[in-house]
Amino acid sequence: MNYQEKPRFPKNFMWGASSAAWQVEGAVNEDGRTPAIIDLNSQTKKPYADNSVAADHYHHYLEDVSLMAECGLSSYRFSIAWSRIIPDESRRVNPKGIEFYNHLINALIANHITPIVTLYHYDMPCWVDEKKGGWSDRRVIDEFEYYCQVCFENFGDRVKYWLTLNEQNMQIVYGDWLGVSKGCSDWFKEKWKINHIMNLCHAKAVIACHRMVPGGKIGPVPGYVPIYPETCNPADQIAAMNAEELTQKVWNDFYVFREYNGFIRRYWKEYGIDPDIRPQDMELIQQAEIDFIALNCYRSNVAKAADKDSEIKELQLNKSGKKGEFVYPVYPGIYALAPNPYVQTNDWDWEIDPVAMRYMLRYINDHYHLPMMITENGYGAHEEIAEDGGVHDQQRIHFLRDQIFQVGLAIEDGCEVIAYNPWSFTDLLSTGNGMAKRYGLVFVNTTDAEVRDLKRIKKDSFDWYSKFIKSNGKAW
Ligand code: BG6
């Protein structure tokens, strides 16, 4: 990367970091929190991603916030665990849950760190799943609205940036991985019904936020993976557009225009899918005007045409951290994914593609003309404490510098970007590889096999990021 022409960042740009409750907090059975579906899902991946301790942020939050302040963060994006707030179907509010997030929010504000709060990051309480039918039952909409109202009522005086459902698109695309498809007999069709219910939850949250939080702003958090056509063959271009629609554009169009786009309506008709959209649903959705789009972006993909008579192949994520295990899917007549010879990959076969960041920001800006914030972007790696006691994550420094450079270029291209929150501040559990795939600026001394002393050690990337953000993006 050529750092000669350094892009500039706006004066009040928020430089932060990111996390999610179930991946960082631990303390799953403490102070009244009840189990969430993701706890059970993570148990099935043992020894990976067992979230009962995680980074034990629940007990280390003050230490973590003081490290954030030392680093110079001006924002911190985290999520609230629904089952800490509403532990059972009686809808009683758990005062200990409110207290924990009050303390966290107050500590952040005391250190001039703006809280950016995700309402839902994969952790539906088990009681919603068991007693209310989970994501496939419309009763979840009222329960989610109630939970959001409790959050707005208790934290809305201090939290002004709210995010609805983390990566709703990825929850649908990777339904089995994140536990959403549990109990569905025909996921191919049922996912669209679940997606519609999630859309209604998103809409309820947006409307309640605007009603209850003075000056509150709220937006969705799609996971975004730019998709390039493999060649200039027009068939590959259409395949790339199909992939874009079915993994992200259907969701983004919906959030912004508040209706289902023509592509998905035709797709549903072609495959005999009925997502159970009722007339009053669209009236509600029309009222849910978002204020910004938050974006999670790690990598890019390549798509090519797939013959109608080719054999279907499902995508398989690399769960081992040994290169070469990712299985590129084939969806006959729609699209297939393919490797990209122009970019390198990490140990999990994720493309390392900083230009994807600029592409994404320009694409979203061109289509939707809304302010954007980056809520996730990061480099997952196997890491150990070195003999000198430090953690030397040079590759992460390169990754972050290259990605931020492209954010800067996108801003110069005319995109309104208000914040950059890389994943993650401390090490935390990866969705599939637990502590074996670390993302943090701060090392947490624990492994999947053994809970250690949980000591926090600043990695080299912490020092680089700190210097960089304290200069508001001048110290490359
Ligand atoms: C995002 C999720 O999609 O990717 C996070 O919002 C997740 O929860 C992150 O941790 C990185 O993915 P993984 O599988 O490496 O943990």
pLDDT in tens, 340-353: 999 999 999 999 99
Helix, strand or coil, per DSSP, at residue 56: coil
- Please tell me the predicted confidence (pLDDT) of residue 74: 98
- Residue with CA at minimum distance from ligand 1 atom 16: 430
- Residue with CA at minimum distance from ligand 1 atom 8: 431
- Ligand 1 atom closest to residue 348's alpha carbon, by position in its atom list: 15
CA triple 356-362-364, angle to 5 deg: 100
- Which domains does the chain show, CATH number per domain? 14-225+362-470 (3.20.20.80)
Of 167, 230, 351, 383, the catalytic one is 167
Find the residues whose C-beta lies inside 6 A of ligand 1: 20, 23, 166-167, 170, 223, 296, 376, 380, 423, 430-432, 437
**Tokens in use for 470?**
């304290």
- Please tell me the predicted confidence (pLDDT) of residue 6: 87
User: For residue 303, what are the CA distances in angstroms to 248, 326, 338?
Assistant: 14, 15, 6
Q: Which of 168, 430, 439 to mutate to test the pocket of ligand 1 (most atoms within 8 A of CB)?
A: 430
Helix, strand or coil, per DSSP, at residue 103: helix
Tell me if 420 sits within 8 A of 377, measured CB to CB. Answer: yes
- Please tell me the predicted confidence (pLDDT) of residue 178: 80
Distance 17 CA to ligand 1 centre (A): 14
- Ligand 1 atom closest to residue 170's alpha carbon, by position in its atom list: 3
* Full strand arrangement of the beta sheet holding 114-120: 217-221, 161-166, 114-120, 75-79, 14-18, 417-420, 372-376, 293-296
Distance 431 CA to ligand 1 centre (A): 6
- Please tell me the predicted confidence (pLDDT) of residue 146: 98
- Please tell me the predicted confidence (pLDDT) of residue 177: 78
167 is catalytic: yes
User: For residue 428, what are the CA distances in angstroms to 260, 349, 440?
Assistant: 36, 20, 7
Q: How far apart are CA 303 and CA 431, in angstroms?
A: 25
- Ligand 1 atom closest to residue 122's alpha carbon, by position in its atom list: 8
Which parts of 111-156 fold into alpha helices (H)? 126-132, 139-155
The low-confidence residues of the chain, meaning pLDDT below 50, are: none
